[in-house]
Structure 1
Amino acid sequence: MTGESGTGKERVARTIHDLSPCRAGPFVAVNCGAISPNLMESQIFGHEKGSFSGATSRHRGFFEQAQGGTLLLDEITEMPPEFQVKLLRVLETRTVVRLGAESSIDVDVRILAATNRPPLAAAEEGKLRKDLYYRLRILEVEVPPLRERLEDLPLLARTILEEIGEQEGRRKSIGPDVMGMLQAYAWPGNIRELRNALYTAFLLSEGPELEAASIPHEVSGSPRLDPDPGATAIRIPVKTSIREAERRLILMTLEHMEGRKDRTAEALGVSIKTLYNRLHAYGCMG
């Protein structure tokens, strides 16, 4: 699986697992970039008691922990090349050898790998062995950034908000005005940023519904930028309030006019004073 950081690759991996024949088995997610290189083999393949200083007991590695289920190797391009050779052998033989052990262990695990780098580019840079890449690439799934699939945002936002509600012990909903704000933002941090924004709004909103004022300013105060820099149109979801539609129109026009307030006011057919008053109300002055 490939895609920008924060696009939800682990969430996709979890869904693949939940819909697969091995869904009754465990789902184990490992961030390869978070493991120290000198502990990589011990953590992933396991070790025997006494195999190295500090190994006071036997440790079942991630492959054994995922037996009968799915193992996600996230950020696989952060795995040291010398360890990638050992991983390739495990994939070929379907066996692992714990550090310090004399015999191998059969493993029945579905392997999913993820990276935020283009795999072939990573291979050319020496970050990913080509033989390992071709061994893993039985099926490649590209997870697009959130800005390219805003039609998914309402379902994602409600699902994430339900998860936050379960964690916090109370539930809240999203009204059309707030949903309109969320759909108008470009989300450079993708689903990870969406979750953080919803969590902030959840904690700051006093009532049963997320309040527009609780949405982080970088989300509520930024119009959605069209991928086409020459675009002269904006997209406003149905059920957006007139006030919110006006705010987006003004801010996008100001962006299109490269910050020229006189030209923005002229294009909108309002006085410069009215434009300044609106921008002040939006917190865009100062």
Structure 2
Amino acid sequence: MTHALIVDDDVDSAETLRALVAASGYTVAVAHTLRDARRQIALQQPDLILLDLQLPDGSGMELCADPELIANSEVVLVTGHASLETSIQALRLGAADYLVKPIDAGHLRAVLSRFMKPSALKAEVAGLSAKVAPDGHFGHLWGRADSMVAVYNKISRVAGTGVTVLITGESGTGKELVAQTVHDLSRRRQQPFLAVNCGAISPNLIESEIFGHEKGSFTGAERQHQGFFERASGGTLFLDEITEMPPDLQVKLLRVLETGRYMRVGSTQMLDADVRLIAATNRRLADAVKSGKLREDLLYRLNVFPIELPPLRERMDDVELLAGHFLTAIGQAEGETKRLGPQALVQLRGYDWPGNVRELRNVVQRAYVMAAGEVIDECWLPVAGNGAASAAALNGLDSTGAAPQPSADDAIVLPVGTSMAEAERRLILATLRHFHHHKERTAATLGISLKTLYNRLKDYAAVDGEEARPTEDLAASEGRR
């Protein structure tokens, strides 16, 4: 049976906690001082310690600061002041969660439901770490570079705690994947992981989307709406591009972080914010504060445990590994295996990847579609130091920036006086026939977007039912890619 130790100098509070924890199937011991706590731990190592910070003979921090004493115990802080810096420091030292006095029975049950023995978490992290060298990945992340190993070590350290994490890095480096990996290694893994891009929500709706609203709280509020905090309850809420959140809402978010409670728009009832918060931004933090994009006090509250992701250009040895991973995933989805030729690998490693891992993934997907055989050559890949050539490769042109030359059988003849619209129509349809109605290759070769191609084909079909066959849904086609 799981054993819990309650360390609290308030006799009534300790007795209430003891009854609630015992009702959840734990054996329970109680200590009212640090000295008693150490004696109880020596008698029987607890699986769970509910620890008050303010004790007659010292601070509960002293137990947190002794890793050997609590190495096999999960620590949950019990405090009357959730905003105390000592609470944050204790979380940094490995506390898994915290409870705010007076203890809410529902919140306590939620904390108990997430209980995992530290040894189990450590074994899981060790298993993932062992795969980095042979397989090159850790959770949802890929890479063997020293800078990525450092990121993995940070994730391993913070995942099992309740600490707020702030992830920084350029666009496309994989910040959401870091957040997802932290969640998957945490005690909250069985509950939702909700990712929100703060820059993608209308400023007029973002407060309602994050905190929810009551029916009738504003014009158009026809029913009660659960916000992100409520939908992610018990799990992890990832706020991406936090610097795009309006300043007035940053104040309210800061309040939630300090008190652990919030209200829906139009409500007077406080709700518990039972979420692990992870935030991210692609801006430099000092610049964001200086420009007014991020409140300085919110930065301090979010930046409890920082994780900075390196750009791809600083870990070029990982490019081949990442490209191979993307090709494998695409091949499994499409049912056809393809590989990169030797010169293609050289060209990938020579490019500086301003769009980072996201750009590499998109390049590999495009090259997979454009390559006719099982070997992908360099003509569909970006060229180092030549922006025009790189753009040409991505738009279906060859390495010199010229369009692939059609054979004589593919040529079209236009009489003098043909309108531009008709010339475009004939060229698009001829190219579509040449690629056997493969729309992605057609769009890439013509240098237009897939959406533009679909719009043109839809127009042609509406006029005369041409062979363009535009009925395939664009979203479905992009989903298969």
TM-score strictly above 0.5 = yes
Matches within 5 A, 1:140-155: 140-155=306-321
Q: Does 1:74 align with 2:236?
A: no
Q: Does 1:97 align with 2:214?
A: no
Name the structure 2 match of 1:37: 203
1:52-102 CA deviation, whole Å, 9 max, x = no partner? 222222221111121222111111111111100000011112122111222
Deviation at 1:210, TM superposition (A): 3.0
Cα distance in 1, alignment partners of residues 211 and 335 from structure 2: 38
Equivalent position SS for 2:317: helix
Name the structure 2 match of 1:108: 274
1:222 equivalent among 384, 403, 416: 384
Deviation at 1:170, TM superposition (A): 4.6
Aligned residues: 225
Closer, same or farther: CA 167–37 of 1 in aligned 2, 3 Å: farther
Name the structure 2 match of 1:198: 364
Equivalent position SS for 1:140: strand
Equivalent position SS for 1:114: strand
Deviation at 1:199, TM superposition (A): 1.3
Name the structure 2 match of 1:88: 254
Cα distance in 2, alignment partners of residues 282 and 197 from structure 1: 14
Cα distance in 2, alignment partners of residues 125 and 33 from structure 1: 16
Closer, same or farther: CA 169–21 of 1 in aligned 2, 3 Å: farther
Name the structure 1 match of 2:284: 118
Matched letter for residue 283 of structure 1:
T
Matched letter for residue 25 of structure 1:
Q
Equivalent position SS for 1:7: coil
Closer, same or farther: CA 68–154 of 1 in aligned 2, 3 Å: farther
Q: Does 1:136 align with 2:302?
A: yes
Cα distance in 1, alignment partners of residues 232 and 211 from structure 2: 11
Deviation at 1:179, TM superposition (A): 2.5
Matches within 5 A, 1:42-81: 42-81=208-247
Q: Does 1:283 align with 2:435?
A: no
Structure with bigger strand share is 2
Deviation at 1:117, TM superposition (A): 1.0
Closer, same or farther: CA 157–24 of 1 in aligned 2, 3 Å: farther
Deviation at 1:175, TM superposition (A): 4.1
Matched letter for residue 13 of structure 1:
A
Cα distance in 2, alignment partners of residues 104 and 162 from structure 1: 48
Cα distance in 2, alignment partners of residues 172 and 56 from structure 1: 52
Deviation at 1:183, TM superposition (A): 1.4
Contact 2:379 2:399 in 1 (8 A): no
Sequence identity percentage: 56
Matched letter for residue 128 of structure 1:
L
Matched letter for residue 5 of structure 1:
S
Equivalent position SS for 2:248: helix
Matched letter for residue 294 of structure 2:
L
1:168-199 CA deviation, whole Å, 9 max, x = no partner? 45543334432322111100111121121111
Cα distance in 1, alignment partners of residues 260 and 337 from structure 2: 45
Give the TM-score, by structure 2 length.
0.44
Q: Compare 157-166 and 47-56 and name the one that shifted more.
A: 157-166
1:175-231 CA deviation, whole Å, 9 max, x = no partner? 44323221111001111211211111121123344343333xxx1x3259xxxxxxx
Equivalent position SS for 2:187: coil
Closer, same or farther: CA 48–213 of 1 in aligned 2, 3 Å: same
Equivalent position SS for 1:54: coil
Give the TM-score, by structure 1 length.
0.72
Contact 2:380 2:399 in 1 (8 A): no
Matches within 5 A, 1:175-186: 175-186=341-352
Q: Give the gaps of 5 or more residues in structure 2.
A: 1-166, 387-397, 403-481
Closer, same or farther: CA 188–55 of 1 in aligned 2, 3 Å: same
Cα distance in 2, alignment partners of residues 177 and 58 from structure 1: 58
Cα distance in 2, alignment partners of residues 60 and 166 from structure 1: 37
Equivalent position SS for 2:352: coil
Q: Which has the higher Rg, Structure 1 or Structure 2? A: 2
1:121-176 CA deviation, whole Å, 9 max, x = no partner? 21122111111000011111111111001122223223333443455455433344
Equivalent position SS for 2:237: strand
Whose relative contact order is higher, 1 or 2, with alpha carbons under 8 Å and at least 6 apart? 1
